[in-house]
């Protein structure tokens, strides 16, 4: 998959949110968002597959520790369309990452017990428009 963006040396703390906004290509096979410490230690591999590796309209999540993948988890929703807009937020919590994708919410455990996310990579058939890193909102805001 073609890499669209790699950001390193970040200091995202528990409570911080990563917002990804873009548009899928009309002929999209899939796109991936990886969050973690580096490319060998990924707390969340969020892999959308329109038609990729024998999967059709599937979201596959996984983690990678010291370069070795864990067991895949498949979600039972697929809110994306080829040629359509993409808006996904990832909120980094102590024990999990909360994902909000086109009105669907789910969580993926923090299996690496990371305290900081320092790496983000976006790959595949997405035209990235916005990558926003946001600290937790204060109650008085």
What residues contact 1, with CB distance under 8 A and at least 6 apart? 30, 31, 32, 123, 124, 125
Q: ∠ CA(16), CA(133), CA(130), 5° rounding? A: 145
Domains of the chain in start order, with CATH, are 3-134 (2.60.120.200)
Per-residue pLDDT of the chain (141 residues; tens, 9 = 90+): 788 899 999 999 999 999 999 999 999 999 999 999 999 999 999 999 998 888 999 999 999 999 999 999 999 899 999 999 999 999 999 999 999 998 899 999 999 999 999 999 999 999 999 999 988 765 554
């Amino acid at each position: 998959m073609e890499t669209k963006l790699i950001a390193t040396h970040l200091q995202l703390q528990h409570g911080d949110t990563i917002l990804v906004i873009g548009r899928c290509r009309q002929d999209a096979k899939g796109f991936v968002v990886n969050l973690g410490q580096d490319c060998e230690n990924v707390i969340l591999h969020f892999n959308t597959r329109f038609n990729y590796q024998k999967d059709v309209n599937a979201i596959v999540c996984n983690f990678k520790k010291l370069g070795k993948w864990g067991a895949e988890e498949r979600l039972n929703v697929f809110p994306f369309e080829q040629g359509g807009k993409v808006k996904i937020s990832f909120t980094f919590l102590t024990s999990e990452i909360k994902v909000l994708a086109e009105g669907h919410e789910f969580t993926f455990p923090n299996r690496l017990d990371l305290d900081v996310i320092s790496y983000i990579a976006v790959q595949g058939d997405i035209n990235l428009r916005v990558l926003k890193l946001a600290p937790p909102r204060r109650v008085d805001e």
